[in-house]
Chain A
Amino acid sequence: MALLEVSNLGIAFGGLQAVAQLDLKIEKGHLYGLIGPNGAGKTTVFNMLTGVYTPTEGNIVLDGKDITGKSPDLISKAGVARTFQNIRLFNDMTVLDNVKVALHNQIRYNMWTGILRLPSYREKEHQMNREALRLLKIFDLDKEASLKASQLPYGKQRKLEIARALATNPKLLLLDEPAAGMNPNETEELMNTVRSVRDQFGIAILLIEHDMNFVMGICEEITVLDYGRVIAHGDGKAIRNNPKVIAAYLGGD
Chain B
Amino acid sequence: MFRLKNLRKSTKSNLITFGIVIGFYLVIQLLSALGMLSSSLSGQLVPICAYVILAISLNLTVGILGELSLGHAGFMSVGAFSGTIVWTTLYGQVPNWLGLLLAFVVGGAVAGLFGFIVGVPVLRLSGDYLAIVTLAFGEIVKNVMNACYLGYDSKGIHFSFKDAASMGMEADGTTIINGAIGITGIKKGSTFILGIILVILTLVVILNLINSRAGRAIKSIRDNEIAARSVGINITKYKLMAFITSAVFAGIAGVLYSLNYSSLVAKKFDYNTSILILVFVVLGGIGNIRGSVIAAALLTVLPEMLRSLNDYRMLIYAIVLILVMIFSQSPQVVAWRKRMVEMFRGRFSKRPQAKEVQ
Q: Consider the complex of A and B and state whether they touch directly, i.e. have CB atoms less than 8 Å apart.
A: yes
Residues of A that sit less than 8 Å from B by CB:
50-52, 71-73, 76-77, 81-82, 84-93, 96-97, 100-102, 104-105, 107-111, 113-117, 121, 124-126, 128-130, 133, 142, 145-146, 150-154, 157, 164-165, 167-168, 180-181
Residues of A within 8 A of B224 (CB): 88-91
In the docked arrangement, what's the CA distance between A32 and B204, Å? 49
Contact among A76, A82, A86, A100 with B358 in the assembled complex (CB-CB below 8 Å)? A86
B interface: dominant SS: helix
Contact among B231, B234, B352, B356 with A81 in the assembled complex (CB-CB below 8 Å)? B231
In the docked arrangement, what's the CA distance between A76 and B211, Å? 23
Answer whether A104 and B358 are a contact pair too, CB < 8 Å, given A76-B231, A91-B223, A145-B2.
no
Residues of B that sit less than 8 Å from A by CB:
2-3, 5-7, 204-205, 208-209, 211-217, 219-220, 222-224, 226-235, 241, 287, 352-358
- Whether B2 pairs with A157 at a CB distance below 8 angstroms is no
Answer whether A111 and B209 are a contact pair too, CB < 8 Å, given A93-B219, A101-B233, A167-B231.
yes
In the docked arrangement, what's the CA distance between A82 and B229, Å? 11
In the docked arrangement, what's the CA distance between A72 and B3, Å? 31
Answer whether A73 and B219 are a contact pair too, CB < 8 Å, given A109-B213, A154-B355.
no
Q: Which residue of B lies closest to A96 (CB)?
A: B6
In the docked arrangement, what's the CA distance between A125 and B233, Å? 18
In the docked arrangement, what's the CA distance between A10 and B2, Å? 48
Q: Which residue of A lies closest to B357 (CB)?
A: A86
In the docked arrangement, what's the CA distance between A10 and B72, Å? 45
- Whether B231 pairs with A52 at a CB distance below 8 angstroms is no
- Whether B232 pairs with A76 at a CB distance below 8 angstroms is yes
Q: Can you list the 10 inter-chain pairs with the closest CB atoms, starting with the nearest?
A: A114-B212, A76-B232, A90-B223, A72-B229, A88-B227, A102-B231, A101-B220, A105-B232, A88-B224, A111-B214
- Whether A114 pairs with B208 at a CB distance below 8 angstroms is yes
Answer whether A111 and B212 are a contact pair too, CB < 8 Å, given A90-B219, A90-B220.
yes
Q: Which residue of A lies closest to B231 (CB)?
A: A102
In the docked arrangement, what's the CA distance between A90 and B353, Å? 18
In the docked arrangement, what's the CA distance between A105 and B234, Å? 10
List 17 A-B residue pairs with CB atoms under 8 Å apart, sorted by A's residue number.
A72-B226, A72-B229, A73-B233, A81-B231, A84-B227, A87-B358, A92-B222, A104-B216, A108-B213, A109-B212, A110-B214, A129-B6, A133-B2, A151-B354, A153-B352, A167-B231, A181-B356
Contact among A50, A86, A108, A151 with B230 in the assembled complex (CB-CB below 8 Å)? A50
Q: Which residue of A lies closest to B237 (CB)?
A: A73
In the docked arrangement, what's the CA distance between A18 and B212, Å? 41
Residues of A within 8 A of B356 (CB): 154, 181
- Whether A114 pairs with B6 at a CB distance below 8 angstroms is no
Answer whether A115 and B226 are a contact pair too, CB < 8 Å, given A76-B232, A150-B355.
no
Answer whether A181 and B205 are a contact pair too, CB < 8 Å, given A92-B219, A93-B216, A121-B212.
no
Q: Which residue of B lies closest to A97 (CB)?
A: B216
In the docked arrangement, what's the CA distance between A151 and B233, Å? 24
Residues of B within 8 A of A93 (CB): 216, 219-220, 223
Answer whether A100 and B353 are a contact pair too, CB < 8 Å, given A89-B224, A91-B223.
no
Residues of A within 8 A of B231 (CB): 76, 81, 101-102, 104, 164-165, 167-168
Chain B proximity of A175: nearest CB distance (Å)? 13
Q: Which residue of B lies closest to A113 (CB)?
A: B212
In the docked arrangement, what's the CA distance between A85 and B212, Å? 29
